[in-house]
Structure 1
Amino acid sequence: MANLHPAYRAQPGSPLFVDRPFYHQIANATGQRRLVETIDIPIRDARAWKVPAGHVMRICTRQGPQVGDFNLWSLHNPRERFWASRTRQLQRAHVSVHDRLWSSLPYLRPMATITADTLENYGVDEDGGRVHDLLGTRCDPYVNHLLTGEDFDFHCHSNLTRAVAPFGLTEFDIHDVLNVFQCTGLNEQDQYFMKACPAQEGDYLELFAEIDLLCALSCCPGGDLSVDLWGSDASDDDLLATCHPIGIEIYALDDELLTGWSPPTSPNYRGHHGQRPPAEDWNAKRNQCC
């Protein structure tokens, strides 16, 4: 198969070209950070938290393999939120170190940059599986009812909905996720598959907050996905045995590590999508041209 170029290729100076030495230093200078908050996310539940711009968050499997469904919003404007499909196009279908998580239109800027990943070298397994998935999305009670006819309140969509309610957000704010620690791919029929999570106790993914963030993560009720979530062989007792909590750690960085860095800005598009601007603006533009 030909090694085709990606459809979205950045020009020099684009935000797609990350300053790798800057992020390497953030990942490696662990003596120049201080822990400011820890959060424990119980099995089959979710938590939401704030991360100031210029801080690092670590998502870690403290007790064993577990998949987490991750959402992000701009803390000050939740209409700006993580855009999984554009991130998949601009970066990769499975993300790791130096990949960025991009926000929705019209903002379109990096929300966070991955600085460290203990599963970075997992690569592609014998089935074509890779980790930290952007192909799929969160499990939800609507699909569950569609497939089983039963109600279940602890799918990731519901967990995230409960977690963000104290911040004034609702079910309508929950969006497509980054599936942290999840191993997935496409089979020969181009169908989405999930495999058992390869993370072990102590694995982690670290992200640098490019803007002030509100984050939420659900411990998937499918645990490490080693047991089918749906189907004739699915058993909730078996699934429950595969579930483990996830830990969150938030670190403040020494000021010198942030020298030269500033939060990213949105593209300066002013075209109004081809719509005619208000009359006074239109007349001003006409007078400038004639």
Structure 2
Amino acid sequence: MKPEYPDHPAPADAADRRAVAPVICYPVDALPRPDLAAYRAARAGWIPVAQVTVPPRDARCFEVPAGHFFRITSVEGPQVGDLNLWSADLSERFYSGKSRALHGTHLGTGDRMWSSFPTLRPLATITEDTLDWYGFDEYGGGVHDVIGTRCDPYTHNLLSDGGQYHHCCHSNLTRTLAEHRGMPLAEAETHVHDVLNVFMCTGFTRDTGQYFMKASPVRPGDYLEFFAEIDLLGALSACPGGDCGSVHSSDEAACHPLLVEIFRPKAPPAGWLPPSPNGYDRSHGAG
């Protein structure tokens, strides 16, 4: 725990130091913005090609070809989902830290889910968010965060004096990937990574800077929609915390299924091309 009071007195110029204006780390003015009008126009006449229901406190995998859309929908009650994305061959994975640095702590319409180094390219673009009205509340909370990780059995063990709980999102994602790709659990676990917390309402406390969660504003019929920029493998866990209004990693919270639907447009969005891997030459200044 952080001390209630600082151990060191403030210097005489403390107010001046605190008053220094912030600088955005990664200005994104030069980052090409997705043509949302073209993406949305491509939905006209699209054809549903697959759907997957994710049971409460469990996870499921799904495949999305490049140029297709997919939606995650709340279908029975308030429910948070933890989303992992990979390239179809598992060589690329969602890079939550860089997505956060480029777009902010919470993702929304027009933001992208970026891949890990060395490719650093868009895996998917968010094309619709029915919770975009929420914004940031008086506590600093917003939805669809990339600041948390995913509930996991290791942290649970650490904080519960040795407890063993197997339906944390980390374990859910590990099991479904292992089953879907026919690999051992230990191998599948190495591919599981920090998530997009779909529908989760989170922020940081202003006094201690701690990560907090509160009851999600999601209701049945709300959805988050994506466009697959490359061939994707996804895995979604219906978090054992339900709406995460009180606890997570629990068998007591009210939990509900989530629906994943995949749609094939009649034609790709006008002007769309799959993104190329990042153009850095990978020489790292050597030689």
Q: TM-score under structure 1 normalisation?
A: 0.86
Residues 212-223 of structure 1: pairs in structure 2 closer than 5 A? 212-223=231-242
TM-score if structure 2 supplies the norm length?
0.87
Match of 1:22 in 2: 38
Pair 217,2 (structure 1): closer, same or farther in 2 beyond 3 Å: farther
What is the alpha-carbon distance in structure 2 between the residues aligned to residue 3 and residue 25 of structure 1?
A: 41
Instruction: Return the letter of the residue paired with 2:198.
Output: V
Deviates more, 1:257-266 or 1:40-49: 257-266
Matched, 1:45 2:58: yes
Match of 1:128 in 2: 140
Shift in alpha-carbon separation, 1:129–1:3, aligned structure 2, 3 A: farther
Q: Secondary structure at the match of 1:23?
A: helix
Counterpart in the other structure of 1:279: none
Q: Specify the SS of the correspondent of 1:143.
A: helix
What residue identity is the alignment partner of 1:96?
Answer: G
Q: Deviations over 1:174-200 (max 9, x none)?
A: 000000000000112111100011100
Structure 1 residue aligned with 2:190: 172
Query: Hey, what's the Cα distance between the residues in 1 that align with 2:210 and 2:258?
Result: 29
Shift of 1:20: 3.0
1:26-84 superposed Cα distances (whole Å, 9 cap, x missing partner)? 4xx4x4201000110000100011100000000000001101000000102x1310000
What percent identity do the matched residue pairs reach?
A: 49
Name the residue aligned to 1:211.
230
Q: Name the CA distance, whole Å, in 1 between partners of 2:29 and 2:111.
A: 16
Structure 1 pair 113/225, CA: closer, same or farther in 2 (3 Å)? same
Q: Give 1:157's match in structure 2, choosing from 170, 174, 186.
A: 170
In the other structure, the counterpart of 2:15 is: none
| Greater helix content | 1
Deviations 1:245-280 (Å, cap 9, x if unpaired)? 00000000011x43321100122222511222xxxx
| Alpha-carbon distance in structure 2 between the residues aligned to 1:3 and 1:117 | 32
Quick check: 1:139–1:155 contact (8 Å CA) kept in 2? yes
**Farther off after superposition, 160-169 or 198-207:** 160-169
Distance in 2 (alpha carbons) for counterparts of 1:59 and 1:2: 41
Counterpart-to-counterpart distance in 2, 1:108 and 1:163: 25
For 1:78-157, what aligned pairs fall within 5 Å after superposition? Answer: 78-148=90-160, 149-157=162-170
Q: In structure 2, do the counterparts of structure 1 residues 62 and 83 end up closer, same or farther at CA, with 3 Å as the change threshold?
A: same
2-structure distance, mates of 1:86, 1:206: 20
Distance 2:153 2:146 in 1: 20
Structure 1 pair 145–271 and aligned structure 2 pair: CA distance change class (3 A): closer
Ranges of 4+ aligned residues in structure 1 off by more than 4 Å: 1-5
Taking a change above 3 Å as real, the CA distance of residues 267 and 245 of structure 1, as seen in their structure-2 partners, is same
Q: Where do 5+ consecutive residues of structure 1 fail to align?
A: 277-290
Tell me, in whole angstroms, the C-alpha distance in 2 between the residues paired with 1:2 and 1:50. Answer: 47
- The answer to whether the 8 A contact 1:23-1:98 is kept is no
Question: Which AA in structure 2 matches 1:170?
Answer: A
CA 1:170–1:206 in 2, change beyond 3 Å: closer, same or farther?
same
Structure 1 counterpart SS, 2:27: coil
* Structure 1 residues 271 and 228: CA distance shift in structure 2, 3 A: closer
Given that 1:56 and 1:209 are in contact with CA atoms closer than 8 Å, whether structure 2 keeps it comes out as: yes
Aligned residues: 262
**What is the distance in 1 between the residues matched to 2:28 and 2:211?**
28
Contact 1:144 1:152 in 2 (8 A): yes
Partner letter of residue 130 of structure 1? G
Counterpart contact for 2:151–2:248, Cα < 8 Å: no
Tell whether the 8 Å contact from 2:240 to 2:251 is kept in structure 1 after alignment: no
**SS at 1:272 equivalent:** coil
Structure 2: distance between partners of 1:153 and 1:20: 40
Q: Which amino acid aligns with 2:278?
A: P
